Chain A
Amino acid sequence: MTLNFNDETFRGDYTFRNSPAAIRRFPFPFDQDSYMYSVNLEPHAGGREGSPFQNRFDVDEHYVAEMKDREITLTEDPLRCQSLPHMELAGWDFLELVMVSKSEDYPELFTLNRDGDRWHWINRPLGIEQRFTFLDPTTLPCGPMEYITRQTQGDHALLDQRDGNLWMDAGMVTSQADWSLDFDIGMNFYEWHAPVPKANEMGVFQRALKFLLNLQQGAPVRRLNWTMTVNPRLDTSPENYHKWGPEKRTITPENVGEKQHLRVELQTLWRLPRSNAIAFPIRCYLMSLEDIVSQPKWGRRLHRVLRDLPDELAEYKGFAVNRPVIVDYLSKFDDGAETSPGIFPD
């Protein structure tokens, strides 16, 4: 597989686009015509050839542009990347996991040579070559978590495990669906999930936490989460809400297909070997409604899901104001036909 990296933006003129191949491989999150929270965890052990589930850390045509966008966000607000002092070892664990996985899964893009603790890393798409000593922070330009997450698509949280809970004690968060790392850092699993409606009463968080506390090394798991975003914007942070908020009100029946995006997060969970921490990459995929309806199954299904979604969820996900226009647009692509099981297009 050869990848061409798009020259595109996720702010300002929003030149982000999905190629026809990217549209076909989009991780559409609905395997049926309705949606409710659940403990939707499954092994992250590969998946359909060419899909974003195939490799441990999916690299796609947006890689280079996403890393540029991250750099812009970090320059404006360094608090998007924080690590409490006891999390450095977890940072090294995560750096190792990513470098090993990417160099094995994408040998034409990434190379890792290891001679004891003397490592040599080559990242061709970003033009980076680095020799460093594993576990020696003075040999990298920044901390290990920051170093590797500036080269890895998606947001990332590192969770410390203690007192029967997980604690969000480090993270790189520049493409979040409206939550603040700076506010949440140091919180436990129940605390950072506190704003989510319904799921707690349903027992979702209790069961998910119990499962995660027993997560084993070498047996990562994954889940999909989703929301709606106006314009292909990665930085939908609360910090900058007063800057991107007005764009949410620009949706009209004429532009909704082009401007309104389904935002899907492919979340994976990894037990780390030395620190016993858990790494939680949150990989974000964006696709316009126009592109979604190019796959008839997806158009029909998204219409039904969004039409029937409980108000509390639409409110929490922040698209209640635009729901009527969105559902009206999608209804034109729903002929009432049955949809096939599973998430993949027909």
Chain B
Amino acid sequence: MPRTEFSPSIATRPVYAALKAHGSAPALMLADAEGAEALIELAAADPAVMDRAHLIYIPAGAAHGPRLRELGAKMYHEAPSFSAALERYRKALLDAKMGTQLYLAGTEGLIGQAAAEALAAGLPADAIQSEHRGSIARRMQCVHCKGVTEDVTTDPFVCSHCGLTLFVRDHFSRRLGAFQGVCVDAETPGIVPEMKEIKA
């Protein structure tokens, strides 16, 4: 699956470039599903990028695992979910040396959470690269109850915590790693527009 191009929007809506190798600098890599292909292309462009890399992959049903493993990262680990990978990822951030490059690839939910963790751990923003691949589902925070709903693919959607029907804003918080969801029928309770698939 090729890199996703998102349509122009407001300044907080993240945009993602293609990953660029920083040679054999220490690297932490985290990818889910189709994000694997971004790392495969990265390694093809500069195999040295894997020399000191710690690569964590969350397949989420995709079959790229074996090919990723063959790229020869110094450490390779597969995790069944982001939350399963979280403690390992946090430890890797904690252990990161000066100059460590963080490569994130895959869905916005993964990129948003992983970047927020990295910023909170003190990694400089310019050491973080991210490339979007695969599902354009969004990670949404409900502004009312503060609960986060993962993998939102429709607008509006129902908050998985408080049950309000929320519309999908492009306003994005890097601290939360989430877009903002706001009650769609606040002014006219019960009158909800038709659900549509969200677009890139």
Binding site for B on A (CB under 8 A): 79, 180, 182-187, 190-191, 193-195, 200, 238-242, 245-246, 248-249, 321
B100 at the interface (CB under 8 A from A): no
Q: When each residue 164-188 of chain B gets 1 if its CB lies under 8 Å from chain A and 0 otherwise, what string results?
A: 1000010101111000101100111
B130 at the interface (CB under 8 A from A): no
Interface centre among A185, A191, A200 (most CB of B within 10 A): A191
B141 at the interface (CB under 8 A from A): yes
> Does A183 contact B183, Cβ atoms closer than 8 Å?
no
Return 24 A-B CB contacts under 8 Å, by A number.
A79-B146, A180-B143, A182-B146, A183-B176, A186-B174, A187-B12, A191-B11, A191-B12, A194-B12, A195-B10, A195-B171, A200-B11, A238-B180, A239-B143, A241-B144, A241-B183, A242-B144, A242-B164, A242-B189, A245-B186, A246-B186, A246-B187, A246-B189, A249-B187
> Does A238 contact B143, Cβ atoms closer than 8 Å?
yes
Contact partner of B183 (CB less than 8 A), chosen from A182, A245, A249, A321, is A245
Specify which chain B residues have a CB less than 8 angstroms from the CB of A240 in the assembled complex. 144
Specify which chain B residues have a CB less than 8 angstroms from the CB of A183 in the assembled complex. 141, 143, 171, 173, 176, 180
Q: When each residue 135-174 of chain B gets 1 if its CB lies under 8 Å from chain A and 0 otherwise, what string results?
A: 0000001011010000000000000000010000101011
Instruction: Give B186 Cβ to nearest chain A Cβ, in Å.
Output: 3
By beta carbon, the residue of chain A nearest B178 is A183
Q: How far is the CA of A186 from the CA of B182 in the complex (A)?
A: 20
Q: How far is the CA of A182 from the CA of B175 in the complex (A)?
A: 10
> Does B171 contact A194, Cβ atoms closer than 8 Å?
yes
Q: How far is the CA of A79 from the CA of B141 in the complex (A)?
A: 15
Specify which chain A residues have a CB less than 8 angstroms from the CB of B186 in the assembled complex. 241-242, 245-246
Interface size class of B (residues with CB under 8 A): 20 to 34
Q: How far is the CA of A183 from the CA of B13 in the complex (A)?
A: 14
> Does B146 contact A245, Cβ atoms closer than 8 Å?
no
Specify which chain A residues have a CB less than 8 angstroms from the CB of B183 in the assembled complex. 241-242, 245
Given A182-B146, A195-B10, A246-B187, A238 contacting B182 (CB threshold 8 A): yes
Specify which chain B residues have a CB less than 8 angstroms from the CB of A246 in the assembled complex. 186-189
Specify which chain B residues have a CB less than 8 angstroms from the CB of A79 in the assembled complex. 146
By beta carbon, the residue of chain A nearest B141 is A183
Q: How far is the CA of A249 from the CA of B171 in the complex (A)?
A: 25
By beta carbon, the residue of chain A nearest B119 is A186
Instruction: Give B44 Cβ to nearest chain A Cβ, in Å.
Output: 34
Q: How far is the CA of A194 from the CA of B13 in the complex (A)?
A: 9
By beta carbon, the residue of chain A nearest B116 is A186
> Does A186 contact B175, Cβ atoms closer than 8 Å?
yes
Instruction: Give B9 Cβ to nearest chain A Cβ, in Å.
Output: 9
Instruction: Give B85 Cβ to nearest chain A Cβ, in Å.
Output: 24
Q: When each residue 31-66 of chain B gets 1 if its CB lies under 8 Å from chain A and 0 otherwise, what string results?
A: 000000000000000000000000000000000000
Specify which chain A residues have a CB less than 8 angstroms from the CB of B176 in the assembled complex. 183
> Does A194 contact B11, Cβ atoms closer than 8 Å?
yes
By beta carbon, the residue of chain B nearest A186 is B175
Q: How far is the CA of A195 from the CA of B169 in the complex (A)?
A: 9
9 new A-B contacts at CB < 8 Å, known A238-B144, A242-B164, A246-B188 = A180-B143, A180-B180, A182-B146, A187-B175, A191-B11, A194-B10, A194-B13, A195-B169, A242-B183
Q: How far is the CA of A242 from the CA of B143 in the complex (A)?
A: 10
Specify which chain A residues have a CB less than 8 angstroms from the CB of B143 in the assembled complex. 180, 183, 238-239, 241
Specify which chain B residues have a CB less than 8 angstroms from the CB of A187 in the assembled complex. 12, 173-175
Q: How far is the CA of A183 from the CA of B11 in the complex (A)?
A: 15
